């Protein structure tokens, strides 16, 4: 019986890999909860078994929430919203027509070109090939290498790019991206940061690589990212079966620190499913091990997400995992000082506006996230989680370079703030 179940699951995965998902009839709603009861209703809906996909998650009264619904979900959820006297607005009336037709065409074009373009979105294979080529052509005086810290559920390598120079006891910085597969602007932006550092392309890159080592994990979730290219552009989780009917764990709820207690779902079909236990997923295990190994040398970690223009730091939980009061780190004021300087530098690039602060207060409650694990277990004092520019997970490639420029300015300001 167990063998038959495994074969059935493998068959389902294989079938998905050969047929692209259509978003015909999917809609995106914006909801603004007016009471605590309405907030709770939306949180329960988010973490329930139906797998409802919140693009902007519910957190507090008055803060807009964005949710994408399939046609079946749409009928059910709109009835529930009306019964609960929760007003909503349709912001995208047909996801396929308004977003995915053009995006799928772009994906097909990029596949046909089969060539890496630093100013466009790139497939997993092209990214890995480019990383190897870039390591082999490292700037004079620097040492670059790509090394494997583990493999994904489907056996894909999880590769870290390391930039170093001669010297002993050098401190380091860590950047990772694409823990959520659909957030394409995150790896695209991170690749341009890596490119500048590896080439020592400007005065800031020279200064940053002269003084510090850099560890950059561009694609933490390779199975999920590959799936967004081949099958389902808006896929979020990894690709390990979570039940007989559902696939995937939210890796940013799976780290083994305060796991499963706040801002997560224990329903395997939910988008925020935290896994059966803390650190259960191979991708999470690989990063946990590497963060602990590097922890004593790391001055800061930066886990890159999208979207929303935010620069955040621990903690993600409430005080008692049930109330509405967010827990602050003992060094909250220092984390805020560095975050203010970082976000101000980002804002100054193009005159944008960026929120900053404790992630629980800025965005919503979470436990089992990368930044909390980095600070709480690996012992890295400065653990940050930015949400890059955009108002959707599908953002034109024309945003890649401006995203890089503002983000890199933030990285420079962050390093200067930490080291005086």
If you write DSSP's letter for every residue of 37-96 in order, what string do you get? HHHHHHHHHHTSTT--EEEE---STT--EEEEE-HHHHHHHHHHHHHTT--EEEEES-HI
What letters, b where the CB count within 10 A reaches 16 and e where it falls short, cover 6-30?
eeebeeebeebeeeebebeebbbbb
Dump pLDDT digits (tens) for 264-318. Answer: 999 999 999 999 999 999 999 999 999 999 999 999 999 999 999 999 999 999 9
Distance CA 53, CA 67 (A): 6
Residue 61 sits at the vertex; the CA angle it makes with 58 and 64, to the nearest 5 degrees, is 55
CA neighbours closer than 13 Å in the CB half-sphere of residue 312? 29
Domain residue spans of the chain: 19-101, 120-419
Q: Domain 19-101, what architecture? A: 2-Layer Sandwich (3.30)
Q: What dihedral angle (degrees, nearest 10) is formed by the CA atoms of 90, 95, 97, 98?
A: 70
pLDDT value for 323: 61
- Which of 278, 312, 291, 327 has the alpha carbon at shortest distance from 384? 312
Instruction: Write out the chain's pLDDT in tens, 420 residues.
Output: 343 444 444 444 433 455 899 999 999 999 999 999 999 999 888 888 878 899 998 988 999 999 999 999 999 999 999 998 999 999 999 999 999 998 898 888 888 887 899 999 999 999 999 999 999 999 999 999 999 999 999 999 999 999 999 988 899 999 999 999 999 999 999 999 999 999 999 999 999 999 999 999 999 999 999 999 999 999 999 999 999 999 999 999 999 999 999 899 999 999 999 999 999 999 999 999 999 999 999 999 999 999 999 999 999 999 875 667 899 999 999 999 999 999 999 999 999 999 999 999 999 899 999 999 999 999 999 999 999 999 999 999 999 999 999 999 999 999 999 996
> Which secondary-structure segment (H or E) carries 382?
strand 382-388
Task: Assign 6 to helix, strand or coil.
Answer: helix
- The count of other CB atoms within 10 Å of the CB of residue 399 is 17
Distance CA 7, CA 146 (A): 34
3-state helix, strand, coil in the chain (%, to 5): 40, 20, 40
Distance CA 43, CA 222 (A): 29
What sign results for the dihedral spanned by CA atoms 204, 210, 215, 217?
A: positive
Distance CA 387, CA 178 (A): 12
pLDDT value for 139: 96
DSSP summary character for residue 326: B
Distance CA 41, CA 74 (A): 16
What letters, b where the CB count within 10 A reaches 16 and e where it falls short, cover 362-392?
bbbbbbbbbbbbbbbbbebbbbbbbbbbbeb
Residue 236 sits at φ, ψ, to 5 deg, of -110, -45
Distance CA 326, CA 317 (A): 6
- Which of 243, 305, 252 has the alpha carbon at shortest distance from 276? 243
Range 120-419 classified under CATH 3.30.70.20? no
User: For the residues of 249-294, what is the DSSP string, one character each?
Assistant: --GGG-SSSSTTSSS-B--TTSTTB--SSTT-SHHHHHHHHHHHHH
pLDDT value for 7: 40
- The count of other CB atoms within 10 Å of the CB of residue 210 is 12
């Amino acid at each position: 019986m167990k063998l038959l179940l495994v074969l059935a699951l493998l068959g389902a995965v294989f079938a998905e890999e050969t047929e692209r998902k259509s978003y015909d009839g999917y809609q995106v709603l914006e909801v603004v909860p007016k009471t605590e009861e309405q907030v709770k209703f939306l949180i329960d809906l988010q973490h329930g078994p139906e797998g409802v996909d919140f693009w902007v998650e519910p957190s507090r009264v008055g803060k807009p929430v964005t949710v994408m619904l399939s046609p079946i979900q749409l009928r059910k959820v709109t009835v529930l919203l009306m019964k609960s006297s929760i007003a909503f607005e349709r912001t995208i009336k047909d996801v396929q027509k308004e977003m995915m037709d053009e995006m799928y065409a772009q994906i097909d074009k990029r596949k046909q070109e089969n060539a890496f373009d630093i100013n466009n979105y790139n497939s997993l294979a092209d990214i890995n090939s480019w990383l190897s080529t870039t390591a082999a052509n490292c700037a004079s005086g620097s040492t670059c290498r790509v090394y494997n810290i583990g493999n994904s559920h489907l056996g894909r390598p999880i590769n870290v790019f390391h930039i170093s120079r001669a010297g002993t006891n050098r401190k380091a910085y860590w950047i990772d991206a694409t823990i959520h597969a659909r957030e394409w602007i995150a790896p695209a932006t991170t690749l341009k940061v890596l490119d500048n550092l590896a080439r020592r392309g400007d005065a800031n890159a020279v200064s940053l690589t002269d003084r510090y080592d850099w560890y950059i994990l561009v694609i933490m979730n390779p199975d999920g990212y590959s799936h967004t290219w081949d099958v389902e552009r808006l896929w979020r989780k990894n690709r390990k079966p979570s039940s007989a009917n559902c696939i995937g764990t939210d890796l940013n709820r799976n780290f083994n620190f305060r796991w499963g207690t706040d801002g997560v779902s224990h329903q395997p079909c939910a988008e925020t499913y935290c896994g059966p236990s803390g650190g259960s997923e191979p991708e999470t295990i690989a990063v946990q091990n590497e963060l602990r190994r590097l922890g004593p040398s790391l001055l800061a970690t930066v886990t890159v997400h999208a979207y929303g223009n935010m620069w955040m730091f621990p903690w993600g939980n409430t005080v008692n995992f049930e109330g509405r009061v967010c827990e602050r780190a003992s060094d909250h004021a220092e984390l805020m000082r560095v975050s203010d300087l970082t976000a101000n530098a980002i804002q100054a690039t193009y005159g944008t506006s960026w929120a900053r602060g404790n992630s629980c207060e800025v965005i919503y409650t979470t436990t089992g996230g990368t930044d909390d694990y980095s600070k709480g277990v690996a012992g890295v004092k400065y653990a940050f989680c930015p949400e890059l520019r955009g108002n959707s997970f599908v953002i034109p490639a024309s945003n890649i370079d401006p995203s890089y420029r503002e983000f890199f300015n933030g990285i420079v300001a962050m390093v200067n703030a930490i080291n005086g």
